[in-house]
Amino acid sequence: MSHTPHELAEEFPDKIDTISQLKQTDAHFARLADEYHEVNRVVHRAETNVEPMEELAEVELRKKRAVLKDQIWAILSKS
């Protein structure tokens, strides 16, 4: 388990400008990015025991983060 946050800019460093542009121009992408950021924050806080949670809940949030990341990548890969 990694204790480093998985920010979009770190996950897709070559797409930073595209991410910024899409957040401004694509409402769907902006919602996905915002939701990813929130889920990622909760997962990171759980992993670092700042706000511990049950293991199953943490696993489910990690899965949700992965789904969101896949959806974000699908949009980024077309841009």
Give the pLDDT of residue 2: 55
Amino acid identity, position 69 = K
Is residue 2 included in any domain, yes or no?
no
Is residue 63 included in any domain, yes or no?
yes
- Provide CB contacts within 8 A for 79, sequence distance 6+: 15, 18, 21, 22
Give the pLDDT of residue 3: 57
The structural domain count of the chain equals: 1
Q: Tell me the pLDDT of the chain averaged across its residues.
A: 93
End-to-end Cα distance, the chain: 31
Is residue 1 included in any domain, yes or no?
no
Q: What is the DSSP string of 19-66?
A: HHHHHHH-HHHHHHHHHHHHHHHHHHHHHTTSS---HHHHHHHHHHHH
Rounded Cα distance between 13 and 1, Å, is: 21
Is residue 66 included in any domain, yes or no?
yes
**pLDDT tens column, 28-61:** 999 999 999 999 999 999 988 898 899 999 999 9
User: What does the pLDDT average to over 58-70?
Assistant: 97
Is residue 31 included in any domain, yes or no?
yes
> Which residues form the domain of 36?
15-78
